[in-house]
Amino acid sequence: MKWVTRARPKVDRVACPWLIRKWIDADAEFLFVPPEQVLAVAEQEGAISFDAPSARFDHRDGRCTFEVLLSHYALDDPALFALAAIVHGADVTGEEDHTPQSRGLKAIAEGFQLAHADDHEILAREFAVYDALYTWCRAQTS
């Protein structure tokens, strides 16, 4: 399935593709487009829109898109919930102290965005960060 979101991914727009590939759609293809084109591209490509205004999956009821996806797909893993709290703090403005790790994840995400011009390269390189955080969360919740 194709998934479409805004170009220049940071926290939620990297965390969500990581979650999607690991637990929702292993063959997911991600499209990154200018914000004003997300919905049109979703319609043209038959893609699922996420983390953009009026997208199928976006921030909702105070939750970031990662948290919305967890709920929608009924992913019931304590380590994913712990990771979601970190992502929430790193992604939601004013919530940087939601967890002790949130500010660090935000800095890492911004660093990857500054270091790489290609959105798919950001995903490829930063997925390892989410693999490590998930493993850490699993150790903390077991």
Give residue limits of the domains in the chain.
Answer: 2-141
Q: pLDDT value at position 25?
A: 97
Q: What is the pLDDT of residue 136?
A: 98
The order of strands in the sheet holding 2-6 is 29-33, 2-6, 48-49
Q: Residue 73's pLDDT is what? A: 98
**Digit-coded pLDDT (tens) for 110-121:** 999 999 999 999
Q: What is the pLDDT of residue 112?
A: 97
pLDDT at residue number 49: 98
The low-confidence residues of the chain, meaning pLDDT below 70, are none
pLDDT attached to residue 39: 98
pTM: 0.96
How far apart (Å, rounded) are the C-alpha atoms in residues 66 and 59?
Answer: 8
